[in-house]
Amino acid sequence: MNRIVINADQGQATISRHLYGHFAEHLGRCIYDGAWVGEGSPIPNTRGIRSDVVEALRKVAIPNLRWPGGCFADAYHWRDGIGPKAQRPRTVNIHWGNVVEDNSFGIHEFMDLCEQLGCEPYICGNVGSGTPQEMLDWIEYMTFPGDSSLANLRRANGHPEPWKIKFWGIGNENWGCGGFMRPEYYADLYRRFQIYVRNYGDNQITKIASGMGGPFIYGTEVLMRDVYKPGGRNAINALSLHYYVYLRETDFSATRFGEDQWFTTLQKTLEIDDYIKEHIAIMDYYDPAKEVGLIVDEWGAWYPPEPGTNPAFLYQQNTLRDALVAGLTLHVFHEHADRIMMANLAQTINVLQAMVLTEGERMLLTPTYHVFDLFQGHQDATRLALHLDCERYSLGGKSLPGISASASRKGAGPVLLTLCNLNPNTDVDLTCELRGMAASSVSGRILTADQMTAHNTFDNPNAVHPVAFEGARLGGNGLSIRMPAKSVVALTIQ
Ligand code: AHR
């Protein structure tokens, strides 16, 4: 028996559009080849930024983009990426294969990318190898409206107006690649650095502390205990959490797997909910008023890299399984939308669980991209109260809920109901009772395929793509839905 009850007139938290955010690091082919091809490239571009990628990401209303890392951020010095390109230094990307970084993509290029995408920039500053002075200068360069030397340098480099920056990260994974610090040491450094993250003119920065990896809750405890002061000096506005469905064992593969690995992947995906709850419990203890937001600014599936590619470039394919990873994770974020203010999929292009893959002038949209498309209507909508009873999906003595569901609505507009069927073998029938609205029509789209391993390739870029869904019928006070095995469905009910 699979049954959903939706209270269409009982709105809960707003699902911020920023839960649908992205992350682009100087890693492998994410920035170079992925976003940036250079002004002289035969690949269609605007001021060096790939037009096809911009068009694809605009279609899913990308709300924000985190940059320049990741681990790269704590070795990045912003002055390397400004001024005439020929004079920019050639530096070594120590975290990602020691490749030489020519710094042709710097602040101005990143801000141009965000403007072309129509999204908010989220910059991660350098704590690991940087100084408070460097961070102070960086923010002045970008946002100071007056007649200072740094603001004038920005003008000389082609940007007269100050930029607006809403989101500023103070380091990344400072317990790991960002300095291997103890939480107490990072908390002290954070207190010092954040003082120099200044608001100029009417720019208002959300200060984001680099938080912990999924299961490690102690860093959250220390930050909330030692930095946050209720109603206080606004030293911390958000802290971050990273969670990867990390399956790098060599017997895992992004495209060659059986049902056992399908199951394990989805099981690990759902574990994010436990970790989020643990971090939120600590935050609720210190901050019941929810002044500090939680930001999951790196998430996604991490498999061994595609054979034949540079292992330091973290290039992996993306199958129908990744569509389920995305759908389930986004539903978890919705559940905690009163505390989670942002999330960033890792990473946008050609790295880890990418939205798009590129090869020369060719580009393909991954199954993950299509989930962001199907779920687009949740952005800035009100999450609706939803109750789900469902059968379990079992394998080898373990089981998971067979279905995941989330519903939202903007005002009195249509209800968007998104559903995932985790079971790769069995279609499921479910009833959906709608309370608080009289529905007169339903339409939908579905993402599925014959094989769990189905994916898009440059020769067959549309093997997995959404099609119209005919399996939902209105009747009584709700819907009856027949959901195919291993599928993601989006229904619009009005
Ligand atoms: O996304 C790849 C890497 O994963 C990031 O650079 C780092 O923050 C995390 O460990």
pLDDT per residue as tens digits for the range 274-314: 999 999 999 999 999 999 999 999 999 999 999 999 999 99
Cα(71) to ligand 1 centroid in Å equals: 6
Ligand 1 atom 5, closest CA: 70
Number of domains in the chain: 2
> Is there an atom of ligand 1 within 6 Å of 71 CB?
yes
Same domain, 329 and 456: no
Whether residue 422 is found in the same domain as residue 339: no
Mark whether 371 and 401 lie in a shared domain.
Answer: no
pLDDT value for 345: 98
Give the C-alpha separation, 224 to 209, whole Å.
10
Question: Please, what sign has the CA dihedral across residues 207, 209, 213, 218?
Answer: negative
Sign of CA dihedral 281, 211, 19, 315: negative
Q: Verify that 108 and 252 share a domain, yes or no.
A: yes
State the CATH number of the domain containing residue 365: 3.20.20.80
CB 420 within 8 A of CB 328: yes
- How far apart CA 404 and CA 331 sit, in angstroms, is 7
Residue-wise pLDDT tens digits, 87-137: 999 999 999 999 999 999 999 999 999 999 999 999 999 999 999 999 999
8 Å CB contact between 349 and 36: no
Q: Which of 315, 344, 379 is the last residue of a domain?
A: 379
User: Do 475 and 350 fall into the same domain?
Assistant: no
Cα(176) to ligand 1 centroid in Å equals: 10
Q: pLDDT for 352-396, tens place per residue?
A: 999 999 999 999 999 999 999 999 999 999 999 999 999 999 999
Ligand 1 atom nearest 213 alpha carbon: 10
Looking at ligand 1, which residue's alpha carbon is closest to its atom 4?
70
What pLDDT is stored for residue 489 in this prediction?
Answer: 98
Question: Distance from first CA to last CA of the chain, Å, rounded?
Answer: 25
Asked whether residue 64 falls in the same domain as residue 210, the answer is yes
pLDDT the model gives residue 248: 81
| pLDDT on residue 213 | 77
Mutate to test the pocket of ligand 1, among 23, 29, 242, 246 (most ligand atoms within 8 A of CB): 242
**What is the spatial distance between Cα 437 and Cα 414, in angstroms, rounded to a whole number?**
10
Mean model confidence pLDDT for the chain: 96
What per-residue string of b and e applies to 41-73 under the rule 16 or more CB within 10 Å gives b? eebebeebbbeebbebbeebbbbbbbbbbbbbb
Domain boundary residue, one of 379, 394, 417? 379
Average pLDDT score over residue span 472-492: 96
| pLDDT of amino acid 73 | 98
Task: State the closest ligand 1 atom to the C-alpha of 23, by its place in the atom list counted from 1.
Answer: 1
Pocket lining: 346 vs ligand 1, CB cutoff 6 Å? yes
For residue 161, pLDDT beyond 70: yes
pLDDT at 233 over 70: no
Protein residue closest via CA to atom 2 of ligand 1? 70
Asked whether 178 lines ligand 1 (CB < 6 A), one says no
State percent of the chain over pLDDT 70.
99
**What is the DSSP-derived secondary structure letter of residue 18?**
G
Select from 335, 352, 379 the last residue of a domain.
379
CATH number of the domain bearing residue 406? 2.60.40.1180
Same domain, 150 and 177: yes
Q: Which residues contact 169 (CB under 8 A, 6 or more apart)?
A: 66, 73, 122, 123, 124, 125, 208, 210, 240, 297
Q: Are residues 79 and 96 in the same domain?
A: yes
Distance 244 CA to ligand 1 centre (A): 9
How far from 113 is each of 29, 59, 87, 302, CA to CA, in Å? Answer: 16, 15, 22, 26
CA distance 200 to 154: 15
Q: Are residues 68 and 48 in the same domain?
A: yes
**Nearest protein CA to atom 3 of ligand 1, as residue:** 70
What per-residue string of b and e applies to 165-181 under the rule 16 or more CB within 10 Å gives b? Answer: bebbbbbbbbbbbbbeb
Q: Which amino acid is located at 18 in the chain?
A: H
pLDDT (tens digit, 9 = 90+) per residue, 209-224?
998 776 788 999 999 9
- Whether pTM exceeds 0.95: yes
Testing ligand 1's pocket by substitution, the residue of 22, 71, 313 carrying the most ligand atoms inside 8 A of its CB is 71
Query: Given the CA of residue 298, which atom of ligand 1 is nearest to it?
Result: 1
365 plus 343 within the same structural domain: yes
Residue span of the structural domain in which 281 resides? 17-379
Hey, which residues are catalytic here? 173, 298
Question: Does the structure show a pLDDT above 70 at 264?
Answer: yes
pLDDT digits (tens, 9 = 90+) for 318-330: 999 999 999 999 9
Q: Are 267 and 235 spatial neighbours (Cβ–Cβ below 8 Å)?
A: no
Co-location of 326 and 395 in the same domain: no
**Ligand 1 lined by 172 (C-beta under 6 Å):** yes
Cα–chain center distance at 218: 23
- Could you tell me if 29 and 100 lie in one domain? yes
Determine the pLDDT at residue 251: 74
Ligand 1 center from residue 70 Cα (angstroms)? 5
